[in-house]
């Protein structure tokens, strides 16, 4: 069966003070986080790991496999869906453990099962990469749902958070209870922390060469940046200059995180393009990413390259796939994913 693989770089993983880009010391690397998360999944039933989300369906873990002596995983999440009278839908038992592939069957209204659909992820924690593994017939890849689920885990179930929304010191490992926490932040000994897990498309660097060869075709510049730091004066200055140029002089209030994207119709010659590329390569954190619309092209070409996508054939039967088989197959092509 064919699977579509899309690679993402883990950009946030842990607890952050407002405006900070470096997490609190509880999770120094994604490898530490996923080691703990994997242990948690192996000791809880599927029904105990359901995390509800505002304006979205709940998600749980139905299987998580780890390659021996490594930080590589295959994670299968179960995306709970509504069950309508008379409709046929697959479900898994709430009382199953996610150690192996959970038994899936057609369920009826009222059964002790979770109706829904699976999504699959390859995680190379040491390389800070996760990839969606979408069967060719599937509509969703579950990427956004996973980011939100793991943020919910940090908020509710991490061993560093207790039932009173308190972020605990490293030496304490009191597990939180299963009650949903309603606060927007977690109180620690030195202030409020925000649990975050997020990942961004893992881009290649192949597009710069193409842009250098076609500067005369550029008709629009697109600037995308993440304004997560109130104290980042360089980015604040870029934003304010842009707003003034657009006739807006009132400085906007910056929330904990803000994604800014603006487009400018412009033509660039080779000299100006080379200057932009050089500045972006020297100070990528200032610009985040720059894209260009070229004549004859519908989608932007980003300086940071194209999203890492590929299609592979894996010898597995249909239905809900074995995590062990998927992990074994994906390990063989890991260099092309990370």
**Better-scored residue on pLDDT, 111 or 178:** 111
What three-state secondary structure class fits 329? helix
What pairs with residue 75 in β-bridges? 64, 121
Let me know the angle formed at the C-alpha of 67 by 65 and 70, rounded to the nearest 5 degrees: 130
- pLDDT tens digits, residue range 31-89? 999 999 999 999 999 889 998 876 678 899 999 999 988 999 999 998 887 665 555 56
In this prediction, residue 37 carries a pLDDT of 96
For 110, half-sphere exposure in the C-beta direction (CA atoms, 13 angstrom radius) is 2
3-state helix, strand, coil in the chain (%, to 5): 25, 35, 40
The 8 Å CB, 24+ separation contacts for 42-46 are: 42/97, 42/98, 42/99, 44/97, 44/98, 45/94, 45/95, 45/96, 45/97, 46/78, 46/92, 46/93, 46/94, 46/95, 46/96, 46/97, 46/98, 46/102, 46/114
pLDDT at 103 over 70: no
What is the residue whose two structure tokens read 């999770």?
Answer: 27
> CA 96, CA 109: separation in Å to the nearest integer?
19
pLDDT at 338 over 90: no
Task: Kindly state the tokens that stand for 78.
Answer: 């179960």
Average pLDDT over residues 182-210: 68
**What are the DSSP E strand ranges found in 202-283?**
218-226, 259-265
| pTM listed for this prediction | 0.66
Selection from 219, 238, 221 nearest residue 277 by Cα: 221
Least confident of 62-71, 158-167, 269-278: 158-167
Average pLDDT over residues 188-194: 62
CA atoms 205, 207, 212, 218: torsion sign:
negative
pLDDT at 232 over 70: no
What is the rounded (10 degree) CA torsion for 179, 182, 186, 189?
-80
Name residues whose C-beta falls within 8 Å of residue 178's C-beta, 6 or more positions apart in sequence: 48, 156, 157
Count the neighbouring beta carbons within 10 Å of the beta carbon of residue 144: 12
**What are the DSSP E strand ranges found in 227-317?**
259-265, 289-294, 301-302, 309-313
């Amino acid at each position: 069966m064919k699977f579509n693989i899309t690679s993402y770089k883990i950009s946030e993983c842990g607890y952050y003070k407002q405006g900070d880009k470096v997490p609190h010391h509880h999770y120094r690397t994604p490898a530490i986080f996923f080691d703990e998360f994997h242990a948690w999944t192996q000791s809880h039933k599927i029904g105990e790991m359901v995390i509800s989300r505002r304006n979205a369906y709940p998600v749980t873990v139905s299987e998580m496999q780890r390659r021996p002596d490594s930080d590589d995983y295959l994670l299968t999440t179960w995306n709970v869906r509504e069950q309508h009278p008379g409709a046929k839908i697959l479900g898994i038992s709430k009382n199953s453990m996610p150690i192996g592939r959970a038994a899936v069957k057609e369920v009826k209204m009222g059964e002790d099962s979770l109706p829904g659909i699976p999504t699959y992820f390859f995680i190379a924690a040491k390389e800070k990469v996760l990839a969606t593994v979408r069967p060719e017939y599937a509509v969703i890849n579950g990427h956004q749902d996973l980011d939100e689920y793991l943020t919910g885990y940090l908020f509710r179930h991490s061993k560093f958070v207790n039932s009173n929304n308190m972020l605990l010191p490293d030496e304490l490992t009191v597990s939180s209870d299963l009650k949903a926490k309603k606060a927007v932040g977690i109180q620690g000994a030195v202030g409020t922390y925000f649990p975050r897990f997020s990942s961004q498309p893992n881009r290649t660097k192949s597009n710069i060469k193409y842009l250098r060869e076609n500067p005369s075709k550029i008709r629009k510049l697109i600037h995308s940046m993440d304004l997560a730091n109130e104290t980042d004066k360089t980015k604040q200055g870029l934003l304010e200059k842009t707003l003034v140029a657009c006739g807006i002089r009132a400085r906007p209030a910056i929330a904990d995180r803000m994604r800014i994207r603006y487009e400018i119709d412009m033509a660039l010659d080779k000299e100006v393009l080379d200057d932009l590329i050089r500045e972006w390569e020297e100070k990528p954190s200032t610009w985040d990413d720059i894209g260009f619309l070229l004549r004859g092209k519908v989608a932007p070409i980003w300086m940071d390259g194209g999203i890492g996508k590929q299609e592979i054939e894996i010898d597995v039967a249909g239905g809900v796939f074995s995590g062990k088989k998927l992990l074994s197959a994906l390990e063989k092509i890991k260099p092309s994913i990370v």
